[in-house]
Amino acid sequence: MSAPSPPPLHLLAHIACEVGAVVSLGNAAAGERRCVPLTGGTVHGEIEGRIVEGGIDWQWQRGDGVLDIAAHYVIETQDGALIEVQSTGLRHGPPAVMAALARGDVVPTHAYYFRTAIRFTTGHADWQHLNRVLALAVGRREAQTVHLDVWRVG
């Protein structure tokens, strides 16, 4: 029996999310607990709109050097729909690369791993198809912006 083929991926959107300063809650049992305010941004592609200010990215800076990410925010589309986004993922790389990111340096995406799984929720009739979508994103971190290329899974 042959292995099933992977589902196709379709580019859904590019998200440029503006971020505030990292807030550290200190070291806890699982590592340093942090949060990052999401202050706005844009969404282009099948979904066109903006990131509503007030989202947050909860993070664990784990002892093994991996950043465990759980972002929660809202997209307002050009037609006024509100779409909840829940994004969980991982970011890691060599210590020197991660230090460069922490300083706000520009680092090529191939130098580190930044991936998230995304779920959407909305009550808007024109966008309810997103309630049945699982998406994957490839991320890039800049000093004040997180860029995500979001791919709908088959």
The architecture (CATH level 2) of 9-153 comes to Beta Barrel (2.40)
pLDDT in tens, 100-147: 998 989 999 999 999 999 999 999 999 999 999 999 999 999 999 999
- Counting beta carbons within 10 angstroms of the beta carbon of residue 132, is it exposed (0 to 12), middle (13 to 18) or buried (19 or more)? exposed
User: Is residue 154's pLDDT more than 90?
Assistant: no
pLDDT in tens, 59-81: 999 999 999 999 999 999 999 99
Q: Please, are residues 101 and 114 in contact by the beta-carbon 8 Å criterion?
A: no
pLDDT, average across residues 82-109: 95
User: Is residue 15's pLDDT more than 90?
Assistant: yes
Supply the pLDDT for residue 6. 80
Global pTM value: 0.92
Label residue 143 left, alpha or beta by phi (over 0 means left) and psi (-120 to 50 means alpha).
Answer: alpha
User: Is residue 3's pLDDT more than 90?
Assistant: no
Supply the pLDDT for residue 7. 83
Q: Name the residue ranges covered by the structural domains of the chain.
A: 9-153
Question: How sure is the predictor about 43, in pLDDT bands with cuts at 50, 70 and 90?
Answer: very high
Supply the pLDDT for residue 34. 96
- Of residues 49, 38, 55, 56, the one with CA closest to residue 13: 49
